[in-house]
Amino acid sequence: MSAQTIVSLPDQSTAKMPKRHYINNEHGLLSWLLTGDHKRIAILYLISITFFFFIGGAFAGLIRLELLTPQSDLVAADTYNKFFTMHGIIMIFLFLVPSVPATLGNFLIPIMLGAKDLAFPKINLLSWYLYLAGGIFTLTALVLGGVDTGWTFTTPLSTHYLNTHVITTALGIFVAGFSSIFTGLNFIVTIHRMRCPGMTWFKMPLFVWSHYAASLLMVLGTPVLAIALVLVLLERLFGIGVFDPTKGGDPLLFQHLFWFYSHPAVYIMILPGMGVISEVIATFSRKRVFGYSAVAFSSVAIALFGFFVWEHHMFIMGVSNYSALVFSLLTMLVAVPSAIKVFNWSFTLQKGSITFETPMLYAFAFIGLFTIGGLTGVFLGALGMDIHLTETYFIVAHFHYVMVGGMLMAFLAGIHFWWPKMTGRMYPESLSKLSAVTSFIGFNLTFMPQFILGYLGMPRRYAAYPPEFQVLNVLSTAGATVLGVGFLLPLLYLGWSLKYGAIAGNNPWQATGLEWQIQSPPPTENFLETPIMDHEAYDYEWLANKTKHEVTTVG
């Protein structure tokens, strides 16, 4: 079969906005704040997550500004510590963890499964309020004077030695953690119990599979973070020594508890992004993702392995050589399922007929940057290298390649891909392509120099550095500025498109998922009658037949 013949994007000029949809179904602020509709909750999340992203981004800007010169001249060292702490905490807990699941996952999972809503709409709304409360606590700590523990709340620094607003912040993260637990729980139950007739496990879109795996991690990992934070809080309040070595406690215990969550947490962050990429690649190469079930299972494998490698964050903290070796090997093992995905995407692309719409550009950026990030991760996983590179800018570059280059690009890919579905409108094509290219260039300009800096030995978490590192730092700051523009552009033109964008129609990309078979924006109840899943995921032949049929019935 030749895939090309099937591709013909529909003529959008004739599309009309549906009369009734989830946005205009009810009116007034309260109808949003008390809604049980997963789509509206997704929008609430989208707005609040974007807000926190730009606050976290502002701190990144301040950090880069300080590092423009070798001296610590913009702010004092302790203020600098607060900057990178707030940057890390906001970006990790208030942006990366909820980003794709709470917005796109919330919006799409029920529709992709052919359900009317998530299993527990009220809990879904509750988790948004918990997220908001967590965010507000964290911002309160900021207004009161900030925290300087680093995003890892390292004890005994956080419990005894630092006199900043650890309690407020930790409480914020604790509360936001429950938001993530409830989201994961809601997804798992929905995926198990709410699939429409015909929607077998292996007909589910890969986006759903990746959320299933990520949800397992949220449900199993987040409580351990919660208890670690509770112990920090109690220790700080009562001055006891569970983690303080001078009182017989052991900071390693905190490290174990923290990284037991936080390593899997990197997969909570990245798996949903991988789901987005699978959808985008399938759609714009008009192909079923090569090795569908390998990609599906690799998500679950990542989730399970992810629980066994936490100690690689503790190599330099005096864990035994023997266990370091075991964890080093296990860490390499986790790279395998991620690599499987990258290979399968590449094969899909190779066999497909590719078009370069904006989401696809972001997906390409994802694959390139994530691969670099992942490969450097393997470097770090190798024991000897880690000891040389740890706590240098190499680490910073590594996790930004994975998380920003990976997750953020995936988030933007997903937002651009489903924007027509969520709002019923298209965005300006050339401007959006420009922003994808801008952020890709800006990204590399920002973080490539940091690999070199780290290799040369520039330590992370200092406001001042030796003058010979300045050139690379200036480059990095310049890159951050370009990157900043790349992130601001979408905010502007997506906002613009809400009012002036062309009407999108049901299926502007000619994609096969159930979400594209209903009107855009969808009605409150998603499906007027229960759908039946009668084709495989990404079955373009089915779509072609269906379209032909519709054309003949209309004509």
Partner 1 sequence: MGHEEHEHVVLPQHRHHFETEEQQREAGSFGMWLFLLTEIMFFGGMFFSYLLYRNWYYPAFATASNTLNIWEGAINTAVLITSGFCMALGVYAAEVRKKGMLVTTLILTTVFGLIFLGIKYDEYHEKYELHHIPGNSFSVAQFVNPHAYGIQEEPLAPDMAQRTQIFFFLYFAMTGMHALHMIIGIALLLWLIKRAQRGDFTNGYVAPIENFGLYWHFVDIVWLFLFPLLYLINRHPLH
* Residues at the contact surface with ligand HEM, assessed by CB under 6 A: 266-267, 269-270, 312-313, 315, 331-332, 334-335, 338, 374, 377-378, 380-381, 386, 390, 395, 399, 402-403
Q: Applying CB under 8 A, which residues contact partner 1?
A: 115-117, 119-121, 181, 185-186, 188-190, 192-194, 219-224, 226-228, 230-231, 234-235, 238-242, 247-250, 253, 256-257, 260, 525, 530
CB nearer partner 1, residue 123 or residue 474: 123
Q: What gap in Å lies between CA 68 and CA 471, rounded to an integer?
A: 9
C-beta of 224: minimal distance to partner 1 in Å?
5
AA letter at 346: S
Q: Tokens 């952020």 map to which residue?
A: 439
Q: CB under 5 to 8 A by kind: which of Cu ion, ligand HEM, partner 1, none does 221 bind?
A: partner 1
- Taking the CA atoms of residue 329, residue 180, residue 104 and residue 348 in that order, the dihedral angle to the nearest 10 degrees is 10
Taking the CA of residue 437 as centre, how many other CA atoms within 13 Å lie in the half-sphere pointing to its CB? 8
Token pair for residue 177? 């953690």
Least distance (Å) between residue 248 CB and partner 1:
5
Closest distance between partner 1 and the C-beta of residue 68, in Å?
42
C-beta of 171 vs 257, nearer to partner 1: 257
Q: Of 298 and 512, which has the nearer Cβ to Cu ion?
A: 298
Which class for 528: exposed (0-12), middle (13-18), buried (19 or more C-beta within 10 A)? exposed
Minimal CB distance residue for ligand HEM: 377
In the region spanning residues 235 to 264, those forming contacts with Cu ion, defined by CB under 5 A, are: 263
Query: How far apart (Å, rounded) are the C-alpha atoms in residues 122 and 488?
Result: 33
Which does residue 231 bind out of ligand HEM, Cu ion, partner 1, none, counting CB within 5 to 8 angstroms by kind?
A: partner 1
What secondary structure does DSSP assign to 109-144, as a single string? HHHHHT-SS-S-HHHHHHHHHHHHHHHHHHHHHHHH
Three-state DSSP state, 72: coil
- Which of ligand HEM, partner 1, Cu ion, none sits in contact with 156, Cβ below 5 to 8 A by type? none
CB of 269 to partner 1, least distance (A): 19
395 interface partner picked from partner 1, Cu ion, ligand HEM, none, CB below 5 to 8 A per type? ligand HEM
Q: How far apart (Å, rounded) are the C-alpha atoms in residues 77 and 12?
A: 55
- The one-character DSSP state at 178 is H
Q: Is 398 in the site for Cu ion (CB under 5 A)?
A: no
Is the CB of 240 or the CB of 300 nearer to partner 1?
A: 240
Q: Give residue for tokens 């995003």.
A: 151
322 binds, among partner 1, Cu ion, ligand HEM, none (CB under 5 to 8 A by kind): none
Looking at beta carbons only, is 109 or 303 nearer to Cu ion? 303
DSSP 8-class letter at 101: I
**Those residues with Cβ within 8 angstroms of residue 324's Cβ, 6 or more apart along the chain or in another chain:** 311, 315, 383
Is 263 or 288 the residue whose CB approaches Cu ion more closely?
263
User: 431 vs 55, 483, 484, 503, CA distance in Å?
Assistant: 24, 15, 15, 17
Q: How distant, in Å, are the alpha carbons of 38, 80, 190, 521 from that of 115? A: 11, 48, 8, 16
Which residue's CB is nearer to ligand HEM, number 286 or number 312?
A: 312
- Where does this chain bind Cu ion (CB under 5 A)? 263
